[in-house]
Amino acid sequence: MQEQMIHSLKEVREKQPLVHNITNDVVTNTTANALLAIGASPIMAHAIEEVADMVSITSSLVINTGTLTGSSLQSMLLATETALQLEKPWILDPVGVGATPFRLTGNKQLLANKPSVVRGNASEIKALFTGANEGKGVDSSTSSESTLEFIQEKAREHHLIIAVTGATDYVTDGYDVYKINNGHPMMARVTGTGCTATAIIGAFLAVCDTPLIAAVSGLTCLGIAGELASMDCPGPGSLQLRILDELYLLDRATIEKFEKVSNMRRSCH
Amino acid sequence: MQEQMIHSLKEVREKQPLVHNITNDVVTNTTANALLAIGASPIMAHAIEEVADMVSITSSLVINTGTLTGSSLQSMLLATETALQLEKPWILDPVGVGATPFRLTGNKQLLANKPSVVRGNASEIKALFTGANEGKGVDSSTSSESTLEFIQEKAREHHLIIAVTGATDYVTDGYDVYKINNGHPMMARVTGTGCTATAIIGAFLAVCDTPLIAAVSGLTCLGIAGELASMDCPGPGSLQLRILDELYLLDRATIEKFEKVSNMRRSCH
Amino acid sequence: MQEQMIHSLKEVREKQPLVHNITNDVVTNTTANALLAIGASPIMAHAIEEVADMVSITSSLVINTGTLTGSSLQSMLLATETALQLEKPWILDPVGVGATPFRLTGNKQLLANKPSVVRGNASEIKALFTGANEGKGVDSSTSSESTLEFIQEKAREHHLIIAVTGATDYVTDGYDVYKINNGHPMMARVTGTGCTATAIIGAFLAVCDTPLIAAVSGLTCLGIAGELASMDCPGPGSLQLRILDELYLLDRATIEKFEKVSNMRRSCH
């Protein structure tokens, strides 16, 4: 997997893929900057009048429900239907899906358009796939470990990749389970770190052979960048910008030195 | 008041209250980061479909009219009505209320839903409570001192806390008047510093015994953070992120050393 | 031109002009901060209910189609019509105009309201004035040099200033052509650098004798700030905030030392 990640990063920088984002109001700037820092070319566009056209000229699509509205949901549904028809890879970040019935219903509709990858924290992944409204906020109330059997089952059932992030990240296609031990606790004090992870996976989706490699590569790259950025870091304000610097500086050497990814044996079935 | 502020900060960090924000497009990222930095758990959500549900699961509500639209006003009215019914504390930041008739009318409707605290600069506070449209921008044309009698009168009349910010900040419940001498002039060159003050008061509203303590605590914490961040600071770009670092690092020692709060004798009636 | 630029910067800081922005979701925070850093007073407001009132109390208007929607287009049309009637200067940034038919049509409607200045990269300028939809993203696929004859012709035809930015920037009124060699390649890895250029030109439009001086002054100031900010800069995260610091610190000495502007002989007609 390490060589595949290094190769994927090189591909992102050489091809500078157009990555279309319909994301939340909080992270539009941060995720556009993260995509530019790692070498991709972001486009943020949510108007119902143009999202289908935009999907047709871009390489991958990132959907994030962090500040979902009735009107943005319509744009997201049209964009993801178009992506499905055109066989373009797309990733769903069901931010706060367990918080309100509106978010749950909207995310289930989006899920029906077959994302290549779903990334969320443990609470979000559980809420999305069980349909249980927890009435919780956007931060997780459970650990990523607790979802291991669940995500394998759901990944197989829905034929997609599930990435559950937290202190440790896990990525599965329902069979392999990659455990990623990169990252730093202070990252949870920067808004939209999870959204940035999703956007970067979106960039890798545009160049990788499989969405599994894309998800593992994206989370590992952000995790390493976050780890390096956290060294001697006074607080989350500095961390936010240093992560962008480190994404920009990421290369073969840093990946070889810091990558902590392992493929776990299937833990169920 | 000093011990109450220190206790309140500790409470924010321990309880990590969910703070619901319907705010302007300029500061969504900055205020979410400020809330995370001080220890709260922000949720930004403005869809009419979910704001009532969101109010019911969160601890306090922050309303900011900096980029008000007809549709966001409807969401704000529903959210604040819900907060009033559920007796959840909420704070109003009437950004640019004197700039256009639309903002003035909208803010008056919001005021009718009884915020616990109103925070603005001197021009905004005067425009909101006199109903006079000054045709001014979002920066103040008068000093906070000039409003001292006015804010006491209006705070008593409306049974709420008024916080007027500027070179010096004042907070009153109509009887006590707290004068806060923290902060630094360069903060006025960072967009949304006032909005950040409002959001942080929102976090304290979720844990404090009274909205008066919340408002004084919030403004003092941000003022101290801004002061520490301004030391040897090359410019407003660096300042913006250092304020987040300092909010994260704030503790009993920094509050004891730097806090400059005094309760003034009532100056009228 | 150098003395005019220095004088213009002084005017921005003394008059602190109100600059009204209807811009894209990605850069609202960054451009408000850039305007504050250089000394102007930004107002971001896009509600159809208030944009006409806002234009009437502000000194200049910045229009940016980076995340155009049907509803924001209506607000932009009303605001620019009002600016035209009131003879207030305004600048158009046709972000991604070549990406979709929707953006192209919208930008052409805006162009009919006679902006003082249009600023874009080479692909955007070509798409806007030829009406050819390239189906490209927001980054340019051609160099600014390649547009030199084209922009002179179109500037004369439309009686406006065209500023085309890239590795080298060019500004023309159709007769004079100013070449600006400031800036740094890493600026292209920060989202919205072009949008920031547009906003800063907007500030200069509020105080300069001619839109030509405003456009040259704005691009030169941002170019110098970017150059200074790039020195020993680890990456685009740091660069973004250092540019704000350098805009704040910019003065006669830095302009005299670093300015690289020349007036080229007309290359056609």
How do the domains of chain C map onto residue ranges?
A: 2-264
Residue C73 has pLDDT above 90, yes or no: yes
Among C99, C100, C236, beta carbon nearest to A33: C236
| Confidence class for position C269, pLDDT limits 50, 70, 90 | very low
Q: In 3D, which of C136, C174, C137, C139 has the Cα closest to residue C266?
A: C174
Chain A stretch 2-21, residues whose beta carbon is closer than 8 A to a beta carbon of chain C: 16, 18
According to the model, what pLDDT value does residue A134 have?
63
According to the model, what pLDDT value does residue A132 have?
76
Report CB contact under 8 Å: C44, B30.
no
According to the model, what pLDDT value does residue B266 have?
54
**A242 secondary structure, DSSP code:** H
A-chain residues near B248 (CB < 8 A): 189, 235-237
- If one looks up domain C2-264 in CATH, what number appears? 3.40.1190.20
- Segment C57-77 shows an average pLDDT of 98
Chain A stretch 37-96, residues whose beta carbon is closer than 8 A to a beta carbon of chain C: 37, 41-50, 53-54, 56-58
Report CB contact under 8 Å: B32, A24.
no
**Which residues, given as ranges, of chain B have pLDDT below 70?**
133-139, 265-269
According to the model, what pLDDT value does residue C135 have?
55
A-chain residues near C234 (CB < 8 A): 245, 249
Rounded CA separation A43/A198 (Å): 15
Chain A residue closest in CA terms to B45: A67
The minimum CA-CA distance between B254 and chain C, rounded to whole Å, is: 26
Residue A138 has pLDDT above 70, yes or no: no
Report CB contact under 8 Å: B96, C29.
no
Does any CB of chain B come closer than 8 Å to the CB of residue C22? no
| Confidence class for position A153, pLDDT limits 50, 70, 90 | very high
- Those chains having 3 or more beta-carbon pairs within 8 angstroms of chain B are A, C
| Count of CB pairs separated by less than 8 Å, A with C | 104
Residues whose CB is less than 8 angstroms from the CB of residue C194 and which lie 6 or more positions away in sequence, other chains included: C93, C95, C119, C120, C121, C165
- Segment C2-7 shows an average pLDDT of 95
Residue A185 has pLDDT above 50, yes or no: yes
Output the six-digit token pair for C43: 């107002």
In Å, how far from its chain's centre is CA C156?
Answer: 19
Report CB contact under 8 Å: B70, C49.
yes
At C163, the amino acid letter reads: A
Q: In 3D, which of B133, C121, C72, B18 has the Cα closest to residue A139?
A: B18
Span of A133-137, B260-264, C105-109, C252-256 with lowest mean pLDDT: A133-137
Residue A127 has pLDDT above 60, yes or no: yes
B-chain residues near C236 (CB < 8 A): none
Residue C147 has pLDDT above 80, yes or no: yes
Does any CB of chain A come closer than 8 Å to the CB of residue B102? no
At A125, the amino acid letter reads: I
**Average pLDDT score, chain A:** 95
**Which tens digit of pLDDT belongs to each residue from A31-40?**
999 999 999 9
How would you classify the pairing of strands B169-172 and B177-180? antiparallel
| Confidence class for position A146, pLDDT limits 50, 70, 90 | confident
Q: Quickly tell me which residue has 């001080």 as its tokens.
A: B38
Using CA atoms, how far residue B40 sits from B22, B196, C119, in Å, is 16, 13, 41
Residue C128 has pLDDT above 70, yes or no: yes
Q: What is the 3-state secondary structure (H, E, C) of chain B?
A: CHHHHHHHHHHHHHHCCEEEEECCCCCHHHHHHHHHHHCCEEEECCCCCCHHHHHHHCCEEEEECCCCCHHHHHHHHHHHHHHHHHCCCEEEECCCCCCCHHHHHHHHHHHCCCCCEEEEEHHHHHHHHHCCCCCCCCCCCCCCHHHHHHHHHHHHHHCCEEEEECCCEEEECCCCEEEECCCCHHHHHCCCHHHHHHHHHHHHHCCCCCHHHHHHHHHHHHHHHHHHHHCCCCCHHHHHHHHHHHHHHCCHHHHHHHCCEEEECCCCC
Does any CB of chain C come closer than 8 Å to the CB of residue A254? no
Rounded CA separation C66/C60 (Å): 19
Does any CB of chain B come closer than 8 Å to the CB of residue A243? no
Among A26, A102, A188, beta carbon nearest to B50: A102
Report CB contact under 8 Å: C138, A43.
yes
Residue A171 contacts residue A205 (beta carbons within 8 Å):
no
More confident residue, B42 or A264: B42
H or E element that contains C63: strand C60-64
Residue A237 has pLDDT above 70, yes or no: yes
- Segment A190-209 shows an average pLDDT of 97
Report CB contact under 8 Å: A99, B32.
no
According to the model, what pLDDT value does residue B198 have?
98
According to the model, what pLDDT value does residue C190 have?
96
Residue A269 has pLDDT above 90, yes or no: no
Does any CB of chain B come closer than 8 Å to the CB of residue C192? no
Q: In 3D, which of C114, C107, C160 has the Cα closest to residue C130?
A: C107
Report CB contact under 8 Å: C29, A29.
yes
Rounded CA separation B55/B51 (Å): 6
According to the model, what pLDDT value does residue A145 have?
86
- Segment A95-123 shows an average pLDDT of 96
Does any CB of chain A come closer than 8 Å to the CB of residue C241? yes
According to the model, what pLDDT value does residue B269 have?
45
B-chain residues near A189 (CB < 8 A): 36-37, 248
Q: In 3D, which of A116, A167, A161, A125 has the Cα closest to residue A143?
A: A167
| Count of CB pairs separated by less than 8 Å, A with B | 104
According to the model, what pLDDT value does residue A139 have?
67
User: For an interface test with C, which of A15, A19, A24, A36 has the most C Cβ atoms less than 10 Å from its Cβ?
Assistant: A36
Q: C87-98 burial, b if ≥16 CB within 10 A, otherwise e? A: ebbbbbbbbbbb
Q: B206-226 burial, b if ≥16 CB within 10 A, otherwise e? A: bbbeebbbbbbbbbbbbbbbb
Rounded CA separation C61/C83 (Å): 8
Does any CB of chain A come closer than 8 Å to the CB of residue C189? yes
